[in-house]
């Protein structure tokens, strides 16, 4: 079961990150994208008060699964883990975390902007 969960979390989390970054582009996924970005922000900033800035339950659960499988995790950053795993490169975690925050904020701004424009256009009709 742990081996399945390890693959599940890797796929789920990767898809969630990609959806957070690009889900605002597609008309049918814009609202869902705004919701997942909001949940991500709440996790990072609100839960982060108690668990540490950038806390993500999915990361926490995945790290627990990997620990159960005796698989080493050499970073707290899921994005750095993802880059390391997919490319084989061991990137600077601080740099990856900064890039993650910048890309998150850009995606959030795009999602908010396009959703507000859509809602405004809908209510004006």
Q: Please give the pLDDT value at position 20.
A: 98
Q: Comparing C-alpha atoms, which of 4, 35, 50, 6 is closest to residue 115?
A: 35
Helix (H) or strand (E) holding 76: none
Domain count, the chain: 1
Tokens coding 12: 């789920």
How does pLDDT run across 40-96, given as a tens digit for each residue? 999 999 999 999 999 999 999 999 999 999 998 888 899 999 999 999 998 999 999
Helix (H) or strand (E) holding 55: none
117 neighbors 27 (Cβ within 8 angstroms):
no
Q: Given pLDDT bands bounded at 50, 70 and 90, which one contains residue 125? A: low
Domain ranges, residue 43 = 2-124
């Amino acid at each position: 079961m742990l081996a399945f969960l390890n693959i599940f979390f890797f796929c789920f989390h990767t898809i969630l990150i990609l959806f957070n970054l690009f889900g605002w582009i597609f008309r049918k996924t814009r609202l869902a994208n705004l919701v997942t970005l909001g949940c991500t922000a709440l996790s990072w900033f609100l839960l982060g008060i108690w668990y540490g800035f950038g806390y993500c339950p999915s990361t926490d659960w995945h790290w627990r699964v990997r620990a159960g499988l005796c698989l080493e995790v050499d970073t707290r950053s899921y994005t750095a883990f993802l880059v390391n795993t997919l490319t084989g490169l061991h990137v600077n975690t601080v740099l990856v975390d900064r890039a993650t925050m910048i890309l998150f904020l850009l995606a959030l701004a795009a999602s908010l902007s396009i959703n507000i424009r859509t809602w405004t256009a809908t209510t004006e009709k």
